[in-house]
Amino acid sequence: MPSSSSPLVIDGLQYCRWSREVFLHAREGGVDAIHATIGYHESFQEVVHNIVAWNKLFAENSDLVLHARTLTDIRQAQASHRTAILFGLQNCSALEENLGLIPILFDLGIRFMQLSYNRQSLLASGCTEQNDGGLTLLGQQAIREMNRTGIVVDLSHASERACLDALTRSERPVAVSHAIPSFWHKTPRSISDKVLAALKDNGGLLGLSLYPYHLKDHSNCSRESFCTMVARLVERIGIDAVGIGSDLCYGQPDSVLAWMRQGRWSKPQAHGRKGAEEPPPSFPPQPLWFQDNRNFPALQEGLLQAGFSQKETEKIMGENWARFFQHALSHQDNTKA
């Protein structure tokens, strides 16, 4: 049984079709904690129902997983050979225009929330929106409230200006839970050098995505190419600002991808993606070397081969997320508004 000081393996984002099989894979891959997306465009009540469904999963798989709200919970999961699941949202739809729902969502276990998802939200512009208005006035207030409450501001899918605005304003470390740097592969979702620099200054963390559309050469991206990119990234922003946010979505049908992009309802022909070369919405195959949660050791091996020390590799594989959670998830007084 590992001691409480064993290095943690943590994945900064997944949206799998959750099942006992996925949890068994996570155990096989030695994954101690996963930030799981439990809502995109869902209303508040729909998110509550998603939590109800999760509670059923937790009850049925209590030998494999537990619901984590703190770093202590994650260490408890590790000590009992289980995987800790942290809840997060990939858009702010569940707020339903009401910032008063932020502490309510915290009470329900939400620990991450994106300000926007590709398009304009009430809080911020998204990375594929036509006009980039950055952070809105309500978005400024939302960040203050998320900082106060202890919900991580997640800038994945936000626009360039929204990232820079939020990084200036957030008083707690900010995460980009799942993305890749644009110096390696340029997509609307990639993180610019400017945002990387601001993220470093903020004490924030970039979780590196292994979603094929994000990867250079997509499904054919080699482990060496990915791990060399990690080395170049660490040269720029330091070893402490880099983690994994695999964006594993395995088991999800393609209809889910269309829904992610279109929101609750918009015209099907407009996904809000830039560029005519954009592939139709279907999930691409994962690279052969990173198929699912069982491949975390292979990723770790690749990082070692790319020249990282054991200690550095442990930081990237989860210890950085652990340190981040220590600062980001500590709950502050919830009564002072």
List contacts with a copy of itself (CB under 8 A). Answer: 41, 43, 93, 96-101, 119-122, 125, 128-139, 141, 144, 161, 263-267, 270, 272, 337
Note every long-range contact of 180-184, with CB atoms under 8 Å and residues 24 or more positions apart, other chains counting.
180/208, 180/209, 180/214, 180/215, 180/229, 181/206, 181/229, 181/233, 181/236, 183/232, 183/236, 184/216, 184/229, 184/232, 184/233
Q: Is 42 helix (H, G, I), strand (E, B) or coil?
A: coil
CB of 43 to a copy of itself, least distance (A): 7
C-alpha span between 242 and 234 (Å, rounded): 7
Per the CB < 8 A criterion, the answer to whether 234 and 275 are in contact is no
How far is residue 204 from each of residues 31, 171, 219, 277, 298, measured CA to CA in Å? Answer: 22, 11, 28, 33, 26
CB of 165 to a copy of itself, least distance (A): 8
- Work out the end-to-end distance of the chain between its first and last CA atoms, rounded to an integer number of angstroms: 43
CB of 128 to a copy of itself, least distance (A): 8
- Give whichever of 135 and 257 is closer to a copy of itself, judged by the CB atom: 135
CB of 96 to a copy of itself, least distance (A): 7
C-alpha span between 15 and 6 (Å, rounded): 26
- Give whichever of 137 and 276 is closer to a copy of itself, judged by the CB atom: 137
CB of 41 to a copy of itself, least distance (A): 6
C-alpha span between 159 and 210 (Å, rounded): 20
- Give whichever of 133 and 284 is closer to a copy of itself, judged by the CB atom: 133
- Give whichever of 139 and 245 is closer to a copy of itself, judged by the CB atom: 139
C-alpha span between 268 and 206 (Å, rounded): 31
- Give whichever of 150 and 245 is closer to a copy of itself, judged by the CB atom: 150
CB of 27 to a copy of itself, least distance (A): 37
- Give whichever of 132 and 240 is closer to a copy of itself, judged by the CB atom: 132
* Sequence-separated (6 or more) residues with CB below 8 Å from residue 164: 134, 194, 195, 198
